[in-house]
Structures are given as C-alpha cells and as structure tokens.
Amino acid sequence: MGITVGLFGFGKTGSVVANEIIKSPDCELKWVVRKTKKNEGLYASHLLGHEHDEGRIYSASDTDFEGLYKENRVDVIIDFSSSGSVDEYTGAAKFGTRFVSAISNYEPGDLGRLKELSTQTAVLYSPNITLGINFLIAASKVLQKIAPQADIEIVEEHFRDKKDVSGTALRIAEDLGLDKNKCVNSVRVGGIIGKHEVIFGLQYQTIRLIHESLNRAAFGQGAIYAAQWLMKKKKGLYTMEQALAIKLG
Amino acid sequence: MGITVGLFGFGKTGSVVANEIIKSPDCELKWVVRKTKKNEGLYASHLLGHEHDEGRIYSASDTDFEGLYKENRVDVIIDFSSSGSVDEYTGAAKFGTRFVSAISNYEPGDLGRLKELSTQTAVLYSPNITLGINFLIAASKVLQKIAPQADIEIVEEHFRDKKDVSGTALRIAEDLGLDKNKCVNSVRVGGIIGKHEVIFGLQYQTIRLIHESLNRAAFGQGAIYAAQWLMKKKKGLYTMEQALAIKLG
Amino acid sequence: MGITVGLFGFGKTGSVVANEIIKSPDCELKWVVRKTKKNEGLYASHLLGHEHDEGRIYSASDTDFEGLYKENRVDVIIDFSSSGSVDEYTGAAKFGTRFVSAISNYEPGDLGRLKELSTQTAVLYSPNITLGINFLIAASKVLQKIAPQADIEIVEEHFRDKKDVSGTALRIAEDLGLDKNKCVNSVRVGGIIGKHEVIFGLQYQTIRLIHESLNRAAFGQGAIYAAQWLMKKKKGLYTMEQALAIKLG
Amino acid sequence: MGITVGLFGFGKTGSVVANEIIKSPDCELKWVVRKTKKNEGLYASHLLGHEHDEGRIYSASDTDFEGLYKENRVDVIIDFSSSGSVDEYTGAAKFGTRFVSAISNYEPGDLGRLKELSTQTAVLYSPNITLGINFLIAASKVLQKIAPQADIEIVEEHFRDKKDVSGTALRIAEDLGLDKNKCVNSVRVGGIIGKHEVIFGLQYQTIRLIHESLNRAAFGQGAIYAAQWLMKKKKGLYTMEQALAIKLG
C-alpha cells in the first residue's frame, strides 16, 4: 500500500509538495490543512490537474482536529506551513502518527513543543529537507575534518526578491563553526531558484560543493524520503542527516 | 626584429612579465629599472634561468635616466612598478618611446602626468592588462545594453591574504554603473590566483561571464599585446579595450 | 496598444510561449493554430489560468487560413510548431504580417520557402531564440577574434532523456569553425533544463561564457523581443543576432 | 624532529614534491634517487633555491641501494618516479622503512611486487594522492548510496597537450560503477592544470563536486599527509581514502 500522509501547508511550496505526494506510488495524501478557507472541501488532486480524488482540503479555522486525526488517521503528518501549526497537530501523536517538519523559521516556543512531541513519537525536523542540501552539509563537515586548514566560504544565489540571507547558508556556516557575517556571500539576481556553493580553499587546490535547485518539488521528494525512513523509527527527534546516513551503513 | 622594450618593475609580477618579454620572439627586453639595488648590473634573463644576456638591471636611484633613454632607446616602456615611476620616464618621450602602464592604483597627480605624457606620444593605460579581463568588461557592457532589465552581481575570488576588494571587480562595477558596495562579493580562500565572475540574472535565464587567472604571466602577454598594438598608433591616451576592439573591425 | 500576434504551436514550448505573450503588456495574442483538435475554439488564456479571453485556439486541419489571416489580421506570426507550418502561413504576408520562426530543425525545402517569404515581408529566423544564447554566440565570436590562439570547447548539459546533441551547441561550434565531433561535450543527467558553457583556454587564463535556462518561458520573451524589433524592419531575412546588435549602436 | 624521507623521482612532479618535503617542518628529505645522472651528488635543496643542504641526489644506475638504505635509513620512501622503481626499494623494508607510492600507471608485475612488499611493512598506494581528489571520490560514493537514482557524469579539464583521458576521472567512474566510455567528458584547452567535476543529476536538483588543482605541490602535501599517517600503521596495503577516513572517527 504505502504510507498515508496528512499535509499542513498549501502555499507556494506546500502545493508543489502535495503534488509530489500525490504522484508518488509509495504515498497516499489523505488530507491537507491550510490556513485560509480557499477551496475548502475540494481535493488537492483536482486543483493540481489530476483526475482522481486525493487530498481533501481542510481550513485550519473550521477543523475539528481531534475528529480528523481519529477518523482520518495518517501514518505521517508533513508540515510545510508555519511555526504555529505544531499546536494543531500534537493531538495526532496519540493515534501513532509520526511527524516530518520542514519549517524554516521556528519560534523558540514552537520548536520546544515539537521537541516535546518527540518524547511521544518519531519526529524528524529539517529546515532544509532536500536530499542534496543535507548531503552538502554532511560532506562539508567531513571535508573540514580532513582539511582543517582549509579556508571556507559560502556563496548562495537566489531570485532578486528573496530578502534575507539564505537560512540554509547560515545553517551551513553554523555547522562548520564559521563566522556567519563574514563567510556567507549572497547574490540576488533574476529568477535563480536556489544555488548554494561551499568553497574550500587550500594552498594548492580548491574544492567546491554545489547544490542547485531546479524546482521546489525537490522539497516534496525530500519529505517523502524522510517520511519513509521515519516509519521504521521509534520515538525521538531525528534530523535529515540521520535519515540519509542510515543508508551508508 | 620585433619591438625593443624597457621595463619598470621587477617584483612578483614584474619579474614574471620580464620573463614573458624575454621569451617572446616579437620582443627584445633591453633593460629593467627596479627600485632596489638588488642584482644591479646583472641580466634579468640569467636570473630567470635563460643562458643568453637580455634585460640589464638598473637601480632607479643610481640611474642617469637621460643617458639611458638616449643611448638605450626603446620602442616601448612597460610599467609594472608603482604610481611614482611616471616621473622617471616622461623624459623618454622625446626619443619617440611609447608607454604601456599597468599600474593598478595611481595617485591622482601621477595619473595626471601620465595623461600629459599622452599629448607627446602614444600611451596605453590599463590597470587590468590581461586580454581576458578586458574582454569580460567589454562583453559585460554589451550584455547590459541588450538586457538592461538584468540584475548584475560580481563574485571575485582570490587567495586568503589578498586584503582589498579586487580593483578589477570594482572597475567592472563602475563601468556597469552598479553600486560597488552592494554588488561585489569577495571570497578569500586558500591559494586561488584570481577569478572574476559577472552574473547576469534574468527572470528565466542566467548568464555568467567568468575569467580565471592561472598564472601572472597573463599580465606579460597582455602587455606585449598592448605594446604591439601601440606601435601603430599616434600620440594619445588609449585603453586596453581599444587595443582589443581594433581587431573586431 | 502593442503588437497583435498569431502563434503556431501549442505544445510543451508553444503553450509557455503563449502564456508569455498573454502576460506581456506590449502584445496581444489574437489566435493560436495547433496541429490537433484538442481544445479547439477555447481560449489559450483560460487554459493557462487567466480569466479574460485571449488567444482563440484553431486546429490546423479545420482552419480556413485565408479567412483567418484576412479577418484576424496580426502584426506578427510567431512559429514554435514544426518545419511544415511555413506552408500554412505564407498566405498571411499579403496582409502585411511579419514572421518570427523559432523552428529548430527545418527540412531544407521548408527553410527555402521561409527565405522566399522574406522577399515579401520581414522575417526573423532563429533556432535558439533566447536573448542569452544569442549573446553567447555573438560574444564567443568576438573573443575568438581577439584571441585566435585560444582552444575552444563546449560543454552542454540537459535532462537525461534529451537524445541528440544540443542543436545550440552544434550551432556555436559551427559559427566558431570548430570540429563539431571533437569539441562538443554532452552531459545528460537528471532534470537540467539547459546549460551551455563555451570554454576558451589560453596558456595562462581561462574564460568561460555560460548560459543557463531556468524556464522555457525564456523562449517566449526572446520571441516577443524579436517581434518588437521586426516591426521597424523592411522585408528581408533577419537573425536574432541582428535584432540584438541593433541596440548596441 | 619529524619524519625522515627518501624520494624516488625528480622530474616535473618529483622536484615540486621534493620542495614541499624540504619546506615542511615535519619532514626531512634525506636523499633523492633519480633516473639520470644530472646533478648527481648535489643537494635538491640548492637546486630549488634553498640555502641549506637537504636531499642529496643519487643516480639510480650508480647507487649501492643496500648501502643507501642501511646507512641513510629513512622512515618513509615516497615514490613519484615510474613503475619499475619498486624493484629498487624493496630492500629498504628490512630496515623498517614504510612506503608511499603515487605511481599512476603501474605494470601489473610491479604492482604485484608492491603488494608483496606490504606483507613486510606498511605501504600506501594512491595514483591520485591529493587530499581533494580522494575526498571527491569518497564523497561521490556516499552520494551515490544516498541517491542511487541519480545520473552521474564526470567532466575533466586539462591543458591542451594532455593526451589521455584523466586517470583520475576513469578511477572515479570505475569506483562508481559507471561506463567509462560514456560518462567521462574530457576538455583539453589552454593551460588548465587540472579540474575534475562529478555531476549528480536528480529530477529536481543537481549536485556538483569539483576539484581544481592550482599547483602540482598539492601532490607533495598529499604525500606528506600519507607518510605521517602511515607512521602509525602496521604492515599492510593502504589507500589514501583510508588515510583520510581515519580522521573522521
């Protein structure tokens, strides 16, 4: 059969993620919870150009979450909405549901509640849930250990209207113990979807690790990968790096 | 026969330039003027591993410039030393000598004197005298005209100890009318000799123009190219872009 | 008001191009001619998610072209269909319509007919109608003139299922007088939309010109640019390079 | 004190490696064995511009190897010469000497003898002894495990006169189980010292691992790293990947 999934978030990224879940032969999208009332009661599948019914849309403000979690129990809830949603889905844990959160900017309190949740069930949290970015981070850490003398800088490129410095770039800098204010270079031009380059400079050689996003659907594939991996895990808080590392054994 | 050349400067870059002039079948290095007294009276050719005599070394403080310019007249003086040298070689103009200056940071007064010199003879001034960088600048200007809506940023990468922002990158920004403080990103890692990338971002496509230096000898080849081009020119102040453009006709 | 446009082709690329024309404030899409009968009589605008009526769809086999061209006269016909369509639209020339053809693989006879058409009206033909690719070709030619000693190779990257060597890469090789069989390297991996890199290798420096496609909509923007430029031209056969060069004057 | 080293090979790469060993505060170059009689009896240090005596040069044909190994015992012999040298240094094993071989193209028989040698002492063999290339290979294997669905191709770039396909690129292809004839693209232009790029293409993202050589001295640093690591190892045959991995624990 595959994994049954509930999705929080149906915005720019959320809808692309929904589409990936619908297309995946290993997953079934049972429902979607979104903030607004738009398209409430319709199926995400129809809105995304599919003919069959999959992923009924619920509006957060109108939903009896207790009933939803009980009668439409899902194996995994995937969260691409925003910081506060954690409050709405903690109740699903008692039905055995696991959680994958891809929220990029958590309020401290909400992150705390996500951690509490992991004492009841398996929770994976990754603000950058693509396979490629997580490989980039893991490989960068390894290279830094092998070549501690290397100078490291990060260049991240995104579309002109992206305001903040890439959270992923800051995360890489943090994980490598670098000064965030000095080593992250941000390029904002045109319609670049997302490129992250970690440059390791040695005296006689340069090593570059580059990740280029072609489409937001990469997030959906990362979330599905995480959900599948999480199905075999006991309660606890996990990271995407762990999910990827397990395959290296 | 080829062109006879006098060289000012015999430091890190100057000596590599001297070597290129010596190796060129189209040029003869008559003499080198350097600041210090080191190796005074020896031949640059010997110090650079050649067996024949070429490029006798003079120390600036001990040299009778009037005598040098008259008795060891050269077709072109190439300057890779520093801002003030212009005062020492203006006297060569009356013997028909032309000038190629590759000084990167001129004091305003010295630059003024170089301009005065161009009322007597042909002078080419380029702070970035490689063929590639000048092509990069020219091509960037063209692309900006074709696609004025493009966002433009520059990424320059150099060895860890290079202190300032690349003068070349600033020059590109200036030529394109960009805000120098916002659009130039500087990476300083390891032993990168020099890389400049101009990124043009459009909504649906990205264009990158990249120049990578492999060796300082590129400066020597640029200076020789400039010197050869200058031989056919009347008095006036020229740029490397003009020297390159003439071949496009 | 802007330019009125008729479009041939409503496949993968054609529909994206239609969308760009509809979105452009400078153009009005009067009609679309497609091969199949699918969605005949509907508006392209609706199929593309717009609310207003724009771009009525005609099926080639059912259409009275003489009537269409007379009663729904357009300033420019843009062709993203296939080689044979030229036969269907030559009749529009007598109503003063101009033509932009972006067909990548013309049969010799059809290309001949397109050329004949240019004795009656203004025709622009470019198999690679993006602004960026045409800049890449033009800039490459310039650099080759400046640095004839440079070795040149091309690396083109596309999605795994693209079968043939990139026509654009072959065109660049041809324009630069290179051996197509030796200097074009084709990478086929994942979902890369399209990347072309022209590498100029000199002894001491390397120059790279890179074009990356982010979205097929770039073709639509190129076609609109070409159409606008063509409005001021007399009869004759033009290229995209000419359309771009005119702005440099 | 540091490690005492004997070096086989004093050609283009060998002399650069000698220089790195001489410059390293952790190593002392006791002697160099070269094929020809050139500069026999002189010190490598002098030929490389140092003032002190280090690395006396022996000609292979004139040398009493038994005497050399006994009276000028070294901790490690580093081999950058050619396939056959292994015959000349097996005799050093009985004095406790370890071996680092960086020969890129071994004859099968010679490789066999190197393996025999590893039953007596610690031997590390790596045809690509830079830290960066070995990291590239190791990281590529990891990424392939994480993303087995990724398409993989390799682009290697070198100076125009390099004849064969890069042995390093072929090795990467082999290690990843790829078809060497299809997935390695070779660019030969200008003076590029060496660049290897492994491209992983997924449907919605691309990952690139790039290694750029700036100078052959990188080989020397890799060999010193290998020699230091080997000092703590028992007899056996080791690879550079093992030497790097040990630091990850």
A1 by Cβ neighbours in 10 Å (0-12 / 13-18 / 19+) ranks as exposed
DSSP state of A105: S
**Dist. CA D140–CA B184, nearest whole Å:** 32
Torsion angle in degrees (nearest 10) through CA of A46, A49, A52, A55? -50
Whether residues B150 and B80 share a domain: the answer is no
**In angstroms, what separates the C-alpha of A32 from chain C's closest C-alpha?**
22
Whether residues C43 and C149 share a domain: the answer is no
Q: What are B's interface residues with D at a Cβ cutoff of 8 A?
A: 190-193, 214-215
Does the annotation mark C235 as catalytic?
A: no
Considering the candidates B162, B180, B195, B233, report the single residue annotated as catalytic.
B162
Closest alpha carbon to B42 in B22, B59, B19 = B59
Neighbours of A (≥3 Cβ pairs closer than 8 A)? B, C, D
Whether residues B91 and B180 share a domain: the answer is no
Rg (CA), chain C: 19
Whether residues D168 and D74 share a domain: the answer is no
Q: How many domains, in total, are found in chain A?
A: 2
Nearest to D191 among B190, B192, B214 (CB): B214
Q: What are C's interface residues with A at a Cβ cutoff of 8 A?
A: 190-193, 214-215
Residues of A acting as catalytic residues: 158, 162
Nearest to A145 among D136, D139, D248 (CB): D248
3-class secondary structure, B125: strand
**Dist. CA C189–CA C192, nearest whole Å:** 7
Strand order from edge to edge, sheet including A151-158:
A184-188, A151-158, A195-201, A205-213, D205-213, D195-201, D151-158, D184-188
Interface test with C, best of B19, B146, B202 (most C CBs within 10 A): B146
DSSP per-residue codes, chain C: --EEEEEE--SHHHHHHHHHHHH-TTEEEEEEEESS-TTTTSBHHHHTT-SS---EEEEGGG--HHHHHHHT--SEEEE-S-GGGHHHHGGGGGGT-EEEE--SS--HHHHHHHHHHTTTSEEEE-SS--HHHHHHHHHHHHHHHH-TT-EEEEEEEE-TT--SPPHHHHHHHHHTT--HHHHEEEEE-TT---EEEEEEE-SSEEEEEEEEE--THHHHHHHHHHHHHHTT--SEEE-HHHHHHGGG-
Domain span at A138: 131-212
Query: β-strand B195-201 against B205-213: which pairing, if any?
Result: antiparallel
Residues of chain D neighbouring C185 (CB-CB closer than 8 A): 155, 185-187
Residues of D acting as catalytic residues: 158, 162
**In angstroms, what separates the C-alpha of D47 from chain A's closest C-alpha?**
21
**In angstroms, what separates the C-alpha of A17 from chain D's closest C-alpha?**
12
* CATH label of the domain that carries residue B160: 3.30.360.10
Interface test with A, best of D207, D210, D240, D248 (most A CBs within 10 A): D207
Q: What is the pLDDT of residue B3?
A: 96
Residues of chain A neighbouring D130 (CB-CB closer than 8 A): 205
Q: What is the pTM of this model?
A: 0.90
Whether residues D104 and D223 share a domain: the answer is yes
**In angstroms, what separates the C-alpha of B223 from chain A's closest C-alpha?**
27
Q: What is the pLDDT of residue D1?
A: 61
Q: What is the pLDDT of residue C117?
A: 97
* B133-167 tens-digit pLDDT: 999 998 999 899 889 999 999 999 999 999 889 98
Nearest to C193 among A190, A192, A214 (CB): A214
Residues of chain D neighbouring C189 (CB-CB closer than 8 A): 150-153, 199-201, 206
Whether residues A142 and A152 share a domain: the answer is yes
Tokens of C58: 């005609």
Residues of chain D neighbouring B215 (CB-CB closer than 8 A): 191
Whether residues B19 and B90 share a domain: the answer is yes
Residues of chain C neighbouring D152 (CB-CB closer than 8 A): 189
Whether residues A110 and A150 share a domain: the answer is no
Q: What is the pLDDT of residue B1?
A: 61
Residue A128 identity: N
Considering the candidates C162, C180, C195, C233, report the single residue annotated as catalytic.
C162
Whether residues B31 and B111 share a domain: the answer is yes
**Dist. CA C70–CA C95, nearest whole Å:** 7
Torsion angle in degrees (nearest 10) through CA of A242, A243, A244, A249? 70
* D67-121 tens-digit pLDDT: 999 999 999 999 999 999 999 999 999 999 999 999 988 999 999 999 999 999 9
Residue in B closest to C147 by C-alpha: B131
Closest alpha carbon to D201 in D146, D140, D156, D153 = D153
3-class secondary structure, A155: strand
**Dist. CA C155–CA A230, nearest whole Å:** 40
Residue in C closest to B216 by C-alpha: C204
Whether residues C20 and C105 share a domain: the answer is yes
* Contacts for C87 with CB less than 8 Å, ≥ 6 apart: C110, C113
Interface test with C, best of A211, A214, A215, A221 (most C CBs within 10 A): A214
* D54-76 tens-digit pLDDT: 999 999 999 999 999 999 999 99
| Cα-based distances in Å from D121 to A223, D8, D74, D95, D128 | 50, 18, 13, 10, 21
Interface test with A, best of C158, C192, C214 (most A CBs within 10 A): C214
Whether residues D32 and D110 share a domain: the answer is yes
Ramachandran bin of C49, using left for φ above 0, alpha for ψ from -120 to 50, beta for the remaining angles: left
Whether residues C77 and C151 share a domain: the answer is no
Residues of chain B neighbouring A150 (CB-CB closer than 8 A): 189-190
Q: Exposure string (b/e) for A117-140, b if CB count within 10 Å is 16 or more? A: bbeebbbbbbbbbbbbbbbbbbbb
**Dist. CA B99–CA B117, nearest whole Å:** 9
pLDDT in tens, chain C (249 residues): 699 999 999 998 999 999 999 999 999 999 999 999 999 999 999 888 888 999 999 999 999 999 999 999 999 999 999 999 999 999 999 999 999 999 988 999 999 999 999 999 999 999 889 999 999 998 999 899 889 999 999 999 999 999 889 989 999 999 999 999 999 999 999 999 999 999 999 999 999 999 999 999 999 999 999 999 999 999 999 999 889 874 443
Residue in D closest to C147 by C-alpha: D190
Residues of chain A neighbouring C193 (CB-CB closer than 8 A): 214
Distance of CA B246 to the CA centre of its chain: 18
**Dist. CA B56–CA B42, nearest whole Å:** 6
B22 by Cβ neighbours in 10 Å (0-12 / 13-18 / 19+) ranks as buried
Question: How many CA atoms within 13 Å lie on the side-chain side of A82?
Answer: 6
pLDDT in tens, chain B (249 residues): 699 999 999 998 999 999 999 999 999 999 999 999 999 999 999 888 888 999 999 999 999 999 999 999 999 999 999 999 999 999 999 999 999 999 988 999 999 999 999 999 999 999 889 999 999 998 999 899 889 999 999 999 999 999 889 989 999 999 999 999 999 999 999 999 999 999 999 999 999 999 999 999 999 999 999 999 999 999 999 999 889 874 443
* CATH label of the domain that carries residue B21: 3.40.50.720
Distance of CA A115 to the CA centre of its chain: 16
CB distance B168 to B128 below 8 Å: yes
Residue in A closest to C191 by C-alpha: A214
